[in-house]
Every structure is written in C-alpha cells, then in structure tokens.
C-alpha cells in the first residue's frame, strides 16, 4: 500500500489506485472538495514534494491551466495514488470555516 506523507503532519497508507482526495479524507483530514470531485473548484488541490503521478487527464490539465495552477498543483480528486508520495498540507474545511463539499465518487 502506498504511504502518503503530509508535510509537517501525519503519514497514512492508502489503497493503491484510489483517488488521493478520498485517501486524505479517510485518514481523518477534512480536505476541501467543494465541487464533489468534478475538477471544477480546485479546492482539493495539493502540491507534491515527491512521488507526483505522471499521468494527468485532459480534464485536470484544463482546470489547472484555467486557474493558473498548472505546474504547481494537482487536483487530488483526479489523481490516483500508486506509490509513496509527500504533499503539502491541503486546504482544510475547518481552517476555511466552510463545509468540505459532497464526497467525490470512488
């Protein structure tokens, strides 16, 4: 099982091939996913310090490009984790004072 390390925070294992946003949430971290995992809101964005997956869908690419985030962030609702990685702390609902949004589908 891949190990995900959150810089300055916790480490957890998640099922290989699972969406990163779901692994983060299932680890008890209240990551934002305001559009429900549809690559529209970019609130689920994360920065990879290591282990960034190479594959990127056109949907994720276009959403990141539109928001000027391409090359800096990935959308955790679009990324499936198959190896160990380290990411910057995600945006948290508790910090922003808003609800996380509907849980993205598997």
Q: Where is 26: in which H helix or E strand?
A: helix 20-26
| Interaction of residue 24 with ligand FES, rule CB under 6 A | no
Minimum CB separation of residue 104 from ligand FES in Å reads: 6
Which residues are bridge partners to 11 per DSSP? 5
Of the chain, the end-to-end C-alpha distance in Å amounts to 17
8 A C-beta contact, residue 77 and residue 49: no
| Interaction of residue 33 with ligand FES, rule CB under 6 A | yes
Site string for ligand FES, 67-86 (x = CB under 6 A): --------x-x---------
| Interaction of residue 37 with ligand FES, rule CB under 6 A | yes
Interacting residue ranges for ligand FES, rule: CB under 6 A: 33-35, 37-44, 75, 77, 104
């Amino acid at each position: 099982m891949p190990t995900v390390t959150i810089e300055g925070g916790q480490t957890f294992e998640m099922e290989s091939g699972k969406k990163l946003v779901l692994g983060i949430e299932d680890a008890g971290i209240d990551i934002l996913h305001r559009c429900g995992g549809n690559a529209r809101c970019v609130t689920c964005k994360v920065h990879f310090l290591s282990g960034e997956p190479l594959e990127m869908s056109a949907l994720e690419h276009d959403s990141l490009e539109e928001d000027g985030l391409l090359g800096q962030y990935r959308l955790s609702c679009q990324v499936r984790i198959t190896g160990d990685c380290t990411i910057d702390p995600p945006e948290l609902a508790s910090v922003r004072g808003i609800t996380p949004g509907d849980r993205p589908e598997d």
